[in-house]
Amino acid sequence: MSEWSLSRLLAGLHEDIERRLQIARQTLAHPSAKGDASETVWLDLLQNYLPKRYSAEKAHVVDSNGVFSQQIDVLIFDRQYSPFILSFEGQKIIPAESVYAVFEAKQTINAGLIAYAKQKVASVRSLHRTSLPIPYAGGTYEPKALTPILSGILAFESDWNPPMGEPLINALGTGETQGCLDLGCVAAHGIFSCDYSHGVTLALQSKPATAFLLELIARLQSIATVPMIDTRAYAKWLDA
């Protein structure tokens, strides 16, 4: 009789994330240190558990027109087909075509931080993305249509009481569509998902971090592969 328990394994994964976020919040004094620690916890989760075709890093995004995004706390991008623009001394610049998802990582959530996360998201979604025809043995596929870039916010706690209720729904529903948040996790309470044709779904969970990870992977699977990047569009900047 096997002593393994899938339920305990999934619970243990969440408990590790929640414990590390709680320690960062309770023991680190400086806000920047708290923020950096929170980002590291979420990045470790994704770097360890996402399929290897995906990378997760703190990074900026750039397009072939030379426009840069704001710095993104947790950027999920393709490493199977896409090049880096720059990777130097901890600084990473990722081409816009490579991006699957962007997340803001915070100790807590409130209306102001959700609005801030939406600005970060919009700075990526507004970038230009190329898409080339895809050659294969029998000919050439048409350029892949650009898929939506997933977005969200990751946190340990909520400033609201109740932590996941009407104020959160209202904050998620305001602002421009380009900055909308699709998926989020409040590790101490639950996850949320947004479908702007049907509204916001809140799910109180006993294992929110694990639930978020599995839902994120499912959504990444539905996107399939990023478009084929036109590297020559970036090469024009060599002579600028």
Choose, from 63, 78, 104, 157, the residue flagged as catalytic.
104
Determine whether 73 is an active site residue.
yes
- Pairwise CA distance, residues 109 & 168, whole Å: 9
Determine whether 118 is an active site residue.
no
Determine whether 106 is an active site residue.
yes
- Pairwise CA distance, residues 224 & 176, whole Å: 26
Choose, from 106, 118, 120, 207, the residue flagged as catalytic.
106
Pair 99, 75: CB distance under 8 Å: yes
Choose, from 63, 73, 78, 97, the residue flagged as catalytic.
73
What are the tokens at 186?
A: 């409040």
Return all residues near 189 (Cβ < 8 A) that are at least 6 apart.
157, 158, 163, 164, 204, 205, 208
Could you list the pLDDT tens digit for every one of the 240 residues in the chain? Answer: 568 888 999 899 999 998 988 888 788 766 777 778 889 999 999 999 999 999 999 999 999 999 999 999 999 999 888 887 888 877 899 999 999 999 999 999 999 999 999 999 999 999 999 999 988 888 888 998 998 999 999 999 999 999 999 999 999 987 677 889 999 999 999 999 987 666 788 888 889 999 999 999 999 999 989 999 999 999 999 986
